[in-house]
Structures are given as structure tokens and as C-alpha cells.
Structure 1
Amino acid sequence: MTVKGVTVLGKRNAQYDEILTDPALAFLAALHRTFESTRQSLLTARIAVQQRLDAGQYLDFPSETAHVRADPSWICAPPAPGLEDRRVEITGPTDRKMVVNALNSGAKTFMADFEDSNAPSWANMINGQINLRDAILRKIDFIQGGKSYKLSKNPAVLLVRPRGWHLDEPRVLVDNRPISGGLFDFGLYFFHNAKALVASGFGPYFYLPKMEHYLEARLWNDVFLFSQSYIHIPHNTIRATVLIETLPAAFHMEEILFELRNHSSGLNCGRWDYIFSFIKKRRADRRAVLPDRKDVTMEVPFMDAYVRLLIQTCHKRKVAAMGGMSAMIPIKGDEAANEAAMNKVRADKLREVTAGHDGTWIAHPLINKIAMDIFDKHMLGPHQYHVRREDVKVTAADLLNTSVSGQITEDGVKSNVSAALAYSAAWIAGNGCIPLNNLMEDAATAEIARLQLWQWAHHNAHLDSGDVITPGYIGKVVDGVAPNVKSLVAGIKDEHLAIAVSYLKDQVKRPWASDFLTSDLMVYLEKVDGAKWVRSSL
């Protein structure tokens, strides 16, 4: 390797070196040197916002961009090839089997995920890049366990979700500093595949997670302009859908579209991360204490307002308003339970299409037909941009409305403890997406579980029995639940479960819970990687 200033601490082999080429690493270095200072300033700005919220200030729509929201003349780019109809999108991590099955699922698109359903071990990140490259080149066919996996003639259109701005890639240093995880994921995928995607009639398409401010969208847009120029493809070839999955971003929807307007393909209701962010951003506000996770549905006031505003905003600017993920998965061996679960999926997808969404997310190929049938019946065209939702008048107070019915129960505490422990233990082993109690749990749902436990203990919330929730009480629940976790999720090791137990007990005692469990637990992936690497505290 001869790229000046670039150090790769992750393992290398002949296959990995096909991705970690000198030209690709030089591109990553250029991205880092051009945009890292801006990324860091935006992350610092997030801290300042949280401090103001902790001091009692409420979020509101930004006054300095009122003219953007008031101007009816601007619209976003037209749908790019393959993104005209997105009625069902399947999502999942980038392991080879998942990539083939998702692309063959019958869904319109596949969002290959380097973020919340992926534990970012070095092997996962680089093998994921290899798998996506091979899929684009139609060289991904393989045999496993005597079964042949072969890409269909007309697979789903590929979109890629890189990591959020807050995460580093500690195994690649530029000038002795870790590169942004998001730029690493985006950069390698874009550099190796953009021209091939364009040649095939499509383009490099992305989902952008975890943004909290329209200036963070501006940064992505600048990255896109730089990158397209770097490899000499036309500007506005890239398309990006932004997940509105943080509370601050809900107040910046139009501004985010405006910043990305020539590269935008819409917004998505990232519902689970949104609930997690709602708790985190309002952590100091006792009035924002929420009941059991199962009771925080899409029908509660603050979630309903968020959905209605997103659909109105997207259709006003002529882009897709994508619905979110139903966490239900098929249940084997119990026909009655499976039918009840699938009926919940049907109700969820019917709610989305009748509200005006242009598509929805699924996590399992067997749910594709359910979602597709409902959207086919109720959405006769490729989208619903004509559903303007001019009846919608969402205020800041609506987005902050915590009038949520329900109670905090012992079963709710146990369910959260189980989800947080099981997911954290699996994640440490390199697995970022687990089935648990007939739900698909990823980082977002695990984060809700963790933050709710902290919120209940921090504010001394009461169970429906009248008992006060304390860190000690949660600690006892953790001790009681932990022995059963290994029976719920295959492959969990004692050493990883012990780390998860210690971590969760510590979290509920803290004055403020950590921002992200993925940041906290990243250090334990060193053992998965088999090498030491440098932290961002350099």
C-alpha cells in the first residue's frame, strides 16, 4: 500500500485487497481531508442542542429557513431509473445469502444495510462491500449447504445505507485520525460501483441515517458533488433517501429536502430510531416518560403528527414518502400465532398506504406478498404524489405531544431487558440483526429498550403496581432475565452476555445514558477482528 497518510489496521488478504485498492484508499483520504472538519463541527453542534434541551428549551422549526418552507417554487429531482415505483422495499445486512435472497424477494428495491442491522466488524464491512460489488457484476452466485443461491434475471434495485455521521471507522486512519464510518461505507461502494451501476441503467442510490440538522444534509450533498466530480460522472446522478429518525430532523424535513434537492429521492419514517431519539432528546423532561414499548405505536399523537408532516412535505416537493418497518416476522410452527402476527403487518401497511405513503419497508421475504398486495390494491399508480395532504397542519407542539395511553408494567421492563441484553450480546459477536420473541430486533429497537429502562429509572417512574422503578430494581430484573437470554437467541456466548449485563446495569445508573450503544460496544469488536485498533480519542 502506497497511499500517503493512510493506515489500514484491519486484516488484509487477497480478496479484501480487491476492495482496499490504492485508488480507493486515495479517494477515502480525499473525502476525509475535505470533509472531516465539517463533520466534527456538526457533531459538536449536536451536543450544544442537547444541552439546550436539557435546560428546558423546546425544539421548533428553524426561523432562519422560514423562506425555504414558504417558497412553493422548488421541487426535488425526478425519480431516477428504477426508483419510480418503490411500493415495497426490503432491508437487511450485507451478508452474501441475505443479499441474494433480498434481491430475489420480489420487492421493488433492496436497502443493503451497513448500519443498524449490521454489527460493524471488519469482516462484515469488507465482505459486505465484496458482496454488493459481486451482485452488481452478477457474479454473486454460490452454493451453501447443498443449496444453490443464484441472482434472478430482474432483481430488486439496490440502495445502500452507510453508517451515520457520529460513527468512526477505527480500522482505517487518515493522517492518524479514524475516518468517518459513513464516508468509509459510502466511499468504497461508490468508488467501485458507481460507473457500473450507471452503465446498467441505474445509479448509485443511498439511504442516509441519523441526521439531526439540515446542515448535515448539506454536508452529504457536498460529498455527493465532490465524489461525482472525482470519478467523472455527471452531477445529480446520485440519489439519496433520508431517514427522518431523530426528533430534531422532524423539524427540518423541508430544509433537508432542499439541501439535497438535486440528489433527493425522498424521506422515510424511520419509526424505531425516531422513538429512541424522542426519548433521548427529551431525557430531562419528566413529561416525556413513555409507557411500555408495545404501547408506543404509530397512532400515538407525536408519531401520527410526524407521519402526516412527512407525507405532506414529500408530496409538496414531488418525492417519495416512504413508510417504516413493521418488526413482525413470520412465526414457524404455530399457524394461529403466525396469522395474528401477519394481520398486524396487514393493518400496519394498510395504515401507511391510506395515509398517503408511496412505499413501505419489510424485513423478511415472506412478508413481501402481504405488503405488495395491499399497496397494489390501494396505490394504483407508481406513487401517490397527488395526495397532497393539504389538510395537515402540524405544529411543534404536535410533534412533542406525549399524551400516550398505557402503563409501565413488569412485563414491559422484562421485555426491554431481554431485548437489550440479547441484542448487545449478539452484536458483540458480530451479529447486528436478531429474531427475538417473533420480532426482528436491530440496533434501533434495542436502543428503545435501553433508553426506556434508563428513562424509567432516572425519573423514578412507577409500575402499574405502584412500585417505583430504580436502578436497583432494574438490576434485579437483569439478573433474573439474563439466564434465559441464551435460550431465546442462538449462538450467544457467556462472555458476551456478561458484558451486556454489566453494560446495561451501568447504563441505568448513569446521570445521562450514552448516546449510542453501538459506539459504546464498538471496542468489543476488537476481539472479533482479532487486532487492536485506534480510538477516535487520538
Structure 2
Amino acid sequence: EKAEFLSVTALLFCSVGIYNAPVSQAPVLMLHPRAWNMVEHNMMVPGPLFDFGLLMFHNAKLILQNQSGPFFYLSKVERYMEARLWSQISFWTEKKLGLPAGCIKATVLIECVLALFEMEEILYELKEHSAGLNCGIWDYSASFVNRFGHRADFLLPDHSKYVDMEKRFLHSYMDLLVQTCHRRGALATGGMAALLLPGDKENATRSNKSCIKAGVDGFMVYDMDLIEPMQKLFQLHSHGQNQLLQLREDITVTPEDLLIMPAGGLTRYGLRYNIALGVLFIEAWLSGVISSIWGRLRIQQRQRYVWQWIRHQVRLEDDGAVVTRALVSSLAEVLMEDLKAAIHCQTSRDKQRLMTAVSMFLETVLKNDFPEFLTTYLNLDHTFHSSQS
């Protein structure tokens, strides 16, 4: 369970050589602490403070002696007040541990639509503790369901068919983030580069060319195999160690650009695909291997889309059927056999875990209100507790 939240993320400034290089020139390892909605049950303190404190107390001086960190990757930030809190925590910690002021650095993931409108303030509040902002394209897209999922004017179509970086609301988001960071001399890093399938480096690198064109200064990676191809890609399509001189004064982004949803619909295949990935996310979470799955596929968000399609009774493009609770439930049951083969269910415990995952998936998407923090909900869910007994 802890592996999901105490994930270590490698931040790569792609133009810097990494092999046979000193630590100060290597890709930067950043601790990804839990978000504020999580609690460390062993000590009953906020999860992010526990994670932050462990790293700082045991490793901060050693990391600094090696001319690196301590560096953090902050997700789920919604308001500038959270950035101010992290800055105050950092100053207090530096003083208590006798560390140089400003040595703690944090990159903030802009994944919430609300945070997008406070990027200037977030950078200001972090000040010397800021290591820039990070684009979270798919997290950002899913945040519309979180905040505005009940509204039909924020209905998202099938991602696999209609949503990509060319869509207005996504490329405007990235353009504005890069422009905001570079105007303040802060680094803007591209979205999480994830190796979806073994050997799929070509597809992964191709999808990040648009980020470089937008002016990002590097990439986040979960899969270490992506460091070299991402580095080569950055060197090929940019000049220098970063792109801070690209101020993007050529663009003007309006609130309408950021909030307009792409046109499109949903097919039966798209619905089945999202149901399958949503179930697989929970099954992996129950199996304790969620860190790799979450980093690779970002499939946690699939439940949100299915919930929204049910909520607004979307009509399928191919056969005209309406997405209802009954339709989603029946498709989930039918998919059971395919999913058993996909994850190689062999023992009775494997099959029971998959059945539990299907049950928990349906429990979330069939609710009137989708849980704001899915992992918190799953952790407290009665079905999960009964499956562990």
C-alpha cells in the first residue's frame, strides 16, 4: 500500500549527460510524498509530512554533501496557500536541521484546473524553494470531471479517440504553463513520460515532441529506460540545457481556451476499454503493485470518465445504446473472463481479487457522486477491508 504513495520520480533535464557523470549532473531523483488527503495511520499524522520528515531527517545532509537534493515532487496542489504552507514547512525544517536556507526544492504538478489559474501565485509562494512547475496533461484533463463532472458542458469524450495534445484546452494549458514559468525564470517540465509497454520507446518519445515544441525544459520519467531516449529527443529538437529563453510571447491564452471541451463521442469499444482499465487499476492496487501500473498507464482516471458518461447518459456512437448503470454493470461482468486471461489469474485467490476489483469498480462508478480522492476511498472501503481478512 505504501508503495503507491512513496513513489520516487526521476526528473530529467534531458540535455545533461548522465553516464559517468557526477551526482550533481545526473537526473534528479525526487520524492513524491503523499497528498494531504492521506494519513499515516501508524503515527496519525498527515501522510505528506511523514514522508517529507523521513527523507529530511535521515538523508538531507547526505544528499547535500553529494551536491544534490533534497528535492520533492508535489501533486494534488490546488491553491497557492498550499504552496505557502510547503514553503513554511521547508524553512522550518532547514532551520531545525541546520541546513542552508532554500536548499529544499519542490516541483509542483499542475494537475488541477483550479491550480492552473494560480500558477503565478504558486511560484511566488514557493520562491527560493521552487524547482518550477510540471505539466500533468491527463491528470489535468481528469480534474474537469472531479470539479465539474455534474455539468454537461464539461463532458469529456473518449480519450483514446478524441483527446490528444492537439486539442485546444490541452495545448493551451501547456503553452500557458511554459509561458508563466519562463517569464519568471522557472523551469517548466513536460508531462510524465511513461513506458506503456516493454520496448515501446518509439511511441513514448513521439508523444513528447509536442512538449519540446511548446518550450519545456525537460521531462519527468518513471521508467528509467526512458532516460536515454528522452535525452536524445530533447537534444535533437532543442538547443542548450533548457529552453528558458523561449518566453512564448507569441501566444495569448484566454480562460475560454482552457475551459473548452473537445468535441467527440463514445463507442462501445471505448466504454469497454475504460471499464477494463479501471478494474485493472483496482486489481493492481489490491495486489500491491500499483506504483508501476499508476506510473505507466495513468489508468486511475478511467473510473472518472465512466462515472461521467453514466451521469449524463451518453449515447454510444456505433449502436445508439445509452450508457446506464445497467449497461456498465453487464459489460463489467462480461469482461471478467478476458481480464482473467489478461492478468493470468491462476489461483482461487487471484480470481477472488479480480472479483473484488470489479465490485469496487462498480461501487465507485455507480455512485451519485464520484469520490474526490479515489485511493483514499478505496483504502477506507469496506469491500477492501473484507478482502484483506
1:454–1:508 contact (8 Å) kept in structure 2:
yes
State TM-score, norm by structure 1. 0.65
Match of 1:202 in 2: 68
Match of 1:502 in 2: 359
Distance, in Å, in 1 between the alignment partners of 2:358 and 2:292 is 18
**Any stretches of 5+ residues in structure 2 without a counterpart?**
3-9
CA distances 1:464-519 after superposition (whole Å, capped 9, x unpaired): 02211001100011101122223223578223222221122222222111112211
Percent identity, aligned pairs only, is 33
Match of 2:7 in 1: none
Counterpart of 2:269, as a letter, is D
Cα pair distance change 1:387/1:171, threshold 3 Å: same
Match of 1:18 in 2: none
Counterpart of 1:415, as a letter, is Y
Counterpart of 1:345, as a letter, is A
Which of 226, 231, 251 is residue 392 of structure 1 equivalent to? Answer: 251
Counterpart of 1:449, as a letter, is R
**Aligned: 1:86 with 2:13:** yes
Which of 278, 287, 295 is residue 429 of structure 1 equivalent to? Answer: 287
Match of 1:292 in 2: 158
**Aligned: 1:440 with 2:367:** no
Cα pair distance change 1:364/1:202, threshold 3 Å: closer
Which of 158, 161, 164 is residue 32 of structure 2 equivalent to? Answer: 161
Greater alpha carbon shift after TM alignment, 359-368 vs 380-389: 359-368
Match of 1:312 in 2: 179
Query: Which structure shows the higher helix fraction?
Result: 2
Which of 283, 303, 308 is residue 455 of structure 1 equivalent to? Answer: 308
1:329–1:364 contact (8 Å) kept in structure 2:
no
Match of 1:375 in 2: 234
Following superposition, which runs of at least 4 residues in structure 1 exceed 4 angstroms of deviation?
104-109, 152-155, 524-530
Shift of 1:88: 7.6
1:238–1:263 contact (8 Å) kept in structure 2:
yes
Other structure's SS at 2:134 match: strand
Shift of 1:226: 1.1
Shift of 1:108: 9.7
Cα pair distance change 1:327/1:155, threshold 3 Å: closer
Shift of 1:271: 1.8
Shift of 1:171: 2.2
**Aligned: 1:349 with 2:208:** yes
CA distances 1:297-343 after superposition (whole Å, capped 9, x unpaired): 122111111100000001011111000124443446xxxxx5xxx44
1:417–1:478 contact (8 Å) kept in structure 2:
yes
Cα pair distance change 1:484/1:529, threshold 3 Å: closer
Distance, in Å, in 1 between the alignment partners of 2:26 and 2:184 is 29
1:162–1:181 contact (8 Å) kept in structure 2:
yes
Match of 2:6 in 1: none
Match of 2:149 in 1: 283
Match of 2:322 in 1: 468
State TM-score, norm by structure 2. 0.88
Counterpart of 1:159, as a letter, is M
Other structure's SS at 1:243 match: strand
Counterpart of 1:467, as a letter, is A
Distance, in Å, in 1 between the alignment partners of 2:13 and 2:225 is 18
**Aligned: 1:322 with 2:193:** no
Distance, in Å, in 2 between the alignment partners of 1:459 and 1:502 is 22
Distance, in Å, in 2 between the alignment partners of 1:248 and 1:107 is 42
**Number of residue pairs the alignment of both structures matches:** 374
Which of 408, 415, 418 is residue 266 of structure 2 equivalent to? Answer: 408
Q: Higher Cα Rg: structure 1 or 2?
A: 1
Distance, in Å, in 2 between the alignment partners of 1:212 and 1:349 is 25
Cα pair distance change 1:293/1:450, threshold 3 Å: same
Distance, in Å, in 2 between the alignment partners of 1:469 and 1:158 is 43
**Any stretches of 5+ residues in structure 1 without a counterpart?**
1-9, 11-81, 90-103, 110-151, 173-177, 333-337, 531-538
CA distances 1:232-255 after superposition (whole Å, capped 9, x unpaired): 112201011000011111111111
Distance, in Å, in 1 between the alignment partners of 2:225 and 2:30 is 20
CA distances 1:428-450 after superposition (whole Å, capped 9, x unpaired): 221114569xx922xxx233210
Other structure's SS at 1:87 match: coil
Counterpart of 1:418, as a letter, is A
**Aligned: 1:221 with 2:148:** no
Distance, in Å, in 2 between the alignment partners of 1:349 and 1:160 is 23
Distance, in Å, in 1 between the alignment partners of 2:21 and 2:328 is 43
